[in-house]
Structure 1
């Protein structure tokens, strides 16, 4: 169910629980700024979620309220994961859904990283 990206942060969302270790995840990377793990319902051969450790509902919330260090650390983490997984040379896609029209389903900023095959058009036509 899409969410309202302007709502307050809900610390009971699934990604907050993953960050706290209450729900297991197959992590591929973590540092002080971000955690990256396999999506439980992958849509491509490689489907990783990258989330900031901070409590941000959406990209809008993050870009408006995160510190410069948090933003830089998160963006660098996305790049490190792509390089570590060998996705840079063949190519990959990043997707951050925001709000209802964007199809956001979890009220914690997350970036989907897709790769491992040609991904086709950016949006269905």
Structure 2
């Protein structure tokens, strides 16, 4: 029987923790008391948004139920806005747990990508234009807050 490897410990210096602490800038789309949604700076497709809980959780197994529910409700809001702004019916919802699954930032997060799985680009290959990200964040936020 194979052994399960030890889960990664939460690192208070991960990039998402720094964003939540206000230590680094980001293009905010939505925020409430339990979640934060922002533009991915190295998107796999136009309009790629990340949703994170305001809880220190490495992956889904660490997430408290009220934060898990809040993340899903935020995802729903973001997806509805993405469909309007980017004129895409299809939204890829992706969440990776652990390095073997491809997780690179060890703070629980959900990717919402207005694209087709057949058109999806590679992640973390090319930095997006910051002005375009800011504009996209404003367009999404305007729909969510309307």
TM-score of the superposed pair, with normalisation by structure 1:
0.81
Task: Kindly indicate whether the alpha-carbon contact (under 8 Å) linking 1:27 and 1:36 is maintained by their aligned counterparts in 2.
Answer: yes
Distance in 1 (alpha carbons) for counterparts of 2:9 and 2:111: 22
- The residue that corresponds to 1:75 in the other structure is 72
Task: Kindly indicate whether the alpha-carbon contact (under 8 Å) linking 2:82 and 2:88 is maintained by their aligned counterparts in 1.
Answer: no
User: How far is 1:55 from its partner?
Assistant: 0.4
- The residue that corresponds to 1:101 in the other structure is 100
- The residue that corresponds to 1:58 in the other structure is 59
Question: Which has the higher Rg, Structure 1 or Structure 2?
Answer: 2
Any unmatched runs of 5+ in structure 2? 121-146
Q: Which has the higher contact order (CA 8 A, sep 6+)?
A: 1
Q: In angstroms, what is the RMSD of aligned CA positions?
A: 2.2
Q: Deviations over 1:27-64 (max 9, x none)?
A: 111111110101111110121111001000012221xx
Distance in 1 (alpha carbons) for counterparts of 2:72 and 2:111: 13
- The residue that corresponds to 2:35 in the other structure is 34
Q: Which has the higher helix share?
A: 2
TM-score of the superposed pair, with normalisation by structure 2:
0.70
Task: Kindly indicate whether the alpha-carbon contact (under 8 Å) linking 1:27 and 1:35 is maintained by their aligned counterparts in 2.
Answer: yes
Distance in 2 (alpha carbons) for counterparts of 1:54 and 1:109: 9
Instruction: Give runs of ≥4 in structure 1 deviating > 6 Å.
Output: none
Q: 1:20 to 1:97 in 2, by over 3 A?
A: same
Q: Which has the higher strand share?
A: 1
Is residue 85 of structure 2 the alignment partner of residue 85 of structure 1? no
- The residue that corresponds to 1:118 in the other structure is 116
User: How far is 1:5 from its partner?
Assistant: 7.7
User: How far is 1:121 from its partner?
Assistant: 7.8
